[in-house]
Amino acid sequence: MISTAACCAGWWDRTGPGGPLMSASPISHGRALAYGTGSIAAASFVVAPQLLLLFFLTETLSVPPAWAGLAVLVPKVWEFLFDPAVGMLSDRTKRRSGRRWPWLLAGALLLPPSFMVLFAPPVLEDWRLTLGFVTLAFLVSTSAYSIFAIPFVTLPGEVSDDHAQRTRVVAWRMAFVGVGVLAAGGLAPALVQAGGGGRAGFAQMGVVLALLCAAVMLLAALAARGFRQHRPPVARGPENPLRHLMANRPYRWLWITYVVQMVAIAVTAALLPYAVQHVMKAPGEMVAVLFVSLTAGSILTMPLWVRIRARLGSLPAYLLATLVCASGTATLYAVTAQDVVLACIATFLAGVGQVGQQLLPLTLLPAATEAAEGDAGARHAGLFAGVWVAGEKLGMALGGALAAMMLGVVGYVEGGGAQAAGTVSVIPVLFALLPAAILLFSLLPLRHLTRHSPGLGG
């Protein structure tokens, strides 16, 4: 999947009570390109743990599935509180060189080493100690990711009052999203296999991706230092910004819809390695093949969803994208041993729907945030970004935890050994039909949004 944190455009792109945007010096293509490379790290960090962490815990570290789900869930629940705080603090930061870039630099320094440690835990006597270590490492790395990602999402709307300048910055960010997704979904499983699998393979993958993240995050942070802040920081005062957010019904229903869909996507991603190993009976490299197929469906049909939105409107197009993704996901239930062609077709179709589910909410967000009382959406851009990113993470965490819990319920045995026939027979249900049902359930809040805000997003 493609993360909102990685590809969100500057949707708080307007003036507010903090003062109008002032004229800016031109932003060079080189600086915009350097800033955009940060999307590689953002997408890589979201996708790699979502795809591989649960499998690493159960198969390599021999952690029972139900307990392994805690390592995925606990750090994300913490970040549900942490992310909005980062957004509010970055709104209030005062620096002559810009209020966002110090946060980008801090995240760039913290994320790579913590990500490296996440997939290279020490050998401990008890799996409970190993679980605690991995949970702590994931908590630190996801917090570092938030410190980087939230200002990264917010900054494009603040660098200039010229639409062409802002579009240049956002365009380079979007260009590098696919690189990050492919690096994590395509390269990471291959690196694990190239390293011999097991602890050595996962450690090799962690080192390579951590070094890649370090390079592009530092480059993005240094590029951001050259951007000048064109809105003053939000002043402290008696106003409660959370009140504006909670009272914003269009934003709230859009957020709920998106979070539910993230749960479904995370279930499929977390169980993909299990389906490849036990249902398709294919080597680990097949995880990369299927993820590349999904990503191809996403990248190739991005322009198509833009045209569909222009023809149908954002809300009907969003509904259609959800149905397409649910159809592709449900089709995975029919995949059997070595059925590579059908698996690729199904993941490609799911990717077509997923990119619509990622892009179309972004077209709805400007109108949804503008529905906040007065100019609160413009004044508290970091808060709105933090809550959106926190919701995305919460959905992915709940999906990963649900996948782990269901593996435990059906009797999955950790440690990479043979599984009972009954357990294997249920994996397609968990991998395909369960997330498809969750996607269909997400149509309920989307229907509520459509009923009460029919003109939202055009």
pTM, entire model? 0.81
How far is it, in rounded angstroms, from Cα 348 to Cα 327?
11
Nearest Cα to Cα of residue 172 among 32, 299, 30: 32
The domain spans of the chain are: 28-232, 242-458
Report the phi/psi class of residue 196: left, alpha or beta, with left for phi > 0 and alpha for psi in -120 to 50.
left
Tokens 């949804």, located at residue: 368
pLDDT, tens digit, 9 for 90 and up, residues 128-168: 999 999 999 999 999 999 899 888 877 766 655 555 666 56
pLDDT, tens digit, 9 for 90 and up, residues 218-269: 998 888 776 655 555 544 443 555 565 666 778 888 899 999 999 999 999 9
When the pLDDT of each residue in the chain is averaged and rounded to a whole number, the result is 82
148 close to 217: Cβ distance less than 8 angstroms: yes
Residue 284, SS3 per DSSP: coil
pLDDT, tens digit, 9 for 90 and up, residues 91-102: 776 666 566 778
How far is it, in rounded angstroms, from Cα 173 to Cα 362?
14
- CATH class assigned to 28-232: mainly alpha
- Looking at the chain, the whole-number percentage of residues with pLDDT higher than 90 is 43
Nearest Cα to Cα of residue 68 among 120, 145, 127: 127
pLDDT, tens digit, 9 for 90 and up, residues 46-61: 889 988 999 999 999 9
How far is it, in rounded angstroms, from Cα 267 to Cα 289?
18
pLDDT at 391 over 60: yes
Q: Name which residue leads in pLDDT, 376 or 184.
A: 184
pLDDT at 285 over 80: yes
Q: Residue 272: pLDDT band by 50, 70, 90 thresholds?
A: very high
Distances (CA, A) of 113 to 50, 116, 117, 144, 152: 18, 5, 6, 10, 20
Do the domains 242-458 and 28-232 match in fold? yes
Taking CB atoms within 8 Å and a gap of at least 24, the contacts of 27-34 are: 27/159, 27/160, 27/165, 27/168, 27/169, 27/227, 29/168, 29/172, 31/223, 31/226, 31/227, 32/168, 32/169, 32/171, 32/172, 32/223, 33/172, 34/219, 34/220, 34/222, 34/223
Q: What is the CATH number of domain 242-458?
A: 1.20.1250.20
Q: Which pLDDT belongs to residue 11? A: 42
Q: Residue 364: pLDDT band by 50, 70, 90 thresholds?
A: confident
Distances (CA, A) of 390 to 141, 256, 382: 14, 12, 12
45 close to 186: Cβ distance less than 8 angstroms: no
